[in-house]
Structure 1
């Protein structure tokens, strides 16, 4: 499946119902690994509960510590609670102003949305201090992890983009062995797909969500995926606008490298 709003009825996990304490609960997002995000309550006490099943491989602790660090520098969700039981793990965060860049309103206004995503990503990269960041998302670390998972038979090339599938796992790893020189090190979002930018009523970016992979890396690790996601979410032809909004010229070699590396991710 592709991440997005749930396509069918969702059973609310017991822990989420307990956290809601009688307040309204609405499922708003489902990811490829079975994780769910719920909107709970209404303003001014509205919050979001992210839940992951125990066998999903999702580690919400990683996102908790990253959010707790990043919130001092840029608009990201404030952590309210985090925990786990035998049925899964959860992360509760305060609501932020704005809607996802792939909400119906913004999908109908792709020029506004893509501009906001590009400007928001640049602002995130400018705001988060590399020297103070304790987390890494470096290509070398990600490649080492991909090699470990490949050796365990845990890399599935059938899930890759069609352009990458003919390479196969061994050839893809060989291509990735030559890491491009850094253009500029920044604290990357780690999942810079369009849905993770929030847009305010004024059409400008307002915050970022889903920072479970945040860490220091070349900025093209984020830019390659942000531009790629414009095609997934708005159709072809929007990559240039995002790069213009960010303020950088295209770099096809780095984009190809980081997109292939993304496909080999967990």
Structure 2
């Protein structure tokens, strides 16, 4: 995922959803999906259909999660034969990989770790209708034609069952100007699973976003000692599929 050039052309459907509001591109993913911010405090997310995690599922999960934790409000969601879109309210905060926080990597990493623990503590496992279990992830990969290594199928015993974010990479935590984690975005894969599934990805993402040497700082901020076996397993699972 990257921050696109400010001159990128908005797709026709995005222009229709903007309804005259000015657009600033803020994110582009590896599938060609784009996210824009409007000057009337909305975000418009648009892209090709994603077999792994679609925006219809994301909207449903956001509406559910808002009962217990802070996520953007869903304004509109839809799709056509080739593309899907999601319009949400803006939150007065910045992504942990905004240039403001890239300039203070340790503060950003701590906020992501603290925010992930807040999310896990806030969302009720017993009320969550979705899974992000190992078995569920294998089934999802198979639907997409991906064969995951058989040695990963079992997985370690669950340490603590939580409602996982499902894509807890650094960009998906929003931080206020005081450096506090206040919200999460990109919840299309939210579901119950071992907390180390999220911790592994979040800590691994520190190297992608701010460089080596910060992964244990994130785990410390989350509030646990590193579990090297579970970290290695869930990183391998993420990278495989």
> TM-score category by the smaller chain?
over 0.9
Residue 146 of structure 1: CA displacement?
Answer: 2.9
- CA-based RMSD of the aligned residues comes to 1.5
Residue 11 of structure 1: CA displacement?
Answer: 2.3
TM-score (ref. length: structure 1): 0.86
- Counterpart selection for 2:159 from 183, 193, 198: 183
**Secondary structure in structure 1 of the residue aligned to 2:9:** coil
* Number of the residue aligned with 2:186: 210
* Number of the residue aligned with 1:259: 235
Residue 177 of structure 1: CA displacement?
Answer: 2.3
* Number of the residue aligned with 2:112: 117
Task: Note if 1:78 corresponds to 2:73.
Answer: yes
Per-residue Cα deviation, 1:185-224 (whole angstroms, up to 9, x for no partner): 0000000000000110101111100000000000001000
Larger Rg over CA atoms: 1
Per-residue Cα deviation, 1:156-211 (whole angstroms, up to 9, x for no partner): xxxxxxxxxxxxx6xx6122023100000000000000000011010111110000
Residue 10 of structure 1: CA displacement?
Answer: 2.4
Supply the distance in 1 between the matched residues of 2:44 and 2:167 (Cα, whole angstroms): 19
TM-score (ref. length: structure 2): 0.95
1:58-207 pair list within 5 angstroms? 59-147=54-142, 149=144, 154-155=145-146, 173-207=149-183
- Counterpart selection for 1:238 from 214, 220, 234: 214
* Number of the residue aligned with 1:26: 24
8 A Cα contact 1:20 1:41, kept in partner = no
Per-residue Cα deviation, 1:62-90 (whole angstroms, up to 9, x for no partner): 10100010011101010011112345211
Supply the distance in 2 between the matched residues of 1:13 and 1:38 (Cα, whole angstroms): 11
- Aligned residue pairs total 240
Supply the distance in 2 between the matched residues of 1:229 and 1:260 (Cα, whole angstroms): 13
**Secondary structure in structure 2 of the residue aligned to 1:82:** strand
Runs (5+) with no aligned partner, structure 2: none
**Taking structure 1 as reference, are residues 252 and 126 closer, same or farther at Cα in structure 2, changes over 3 Å only?**
same
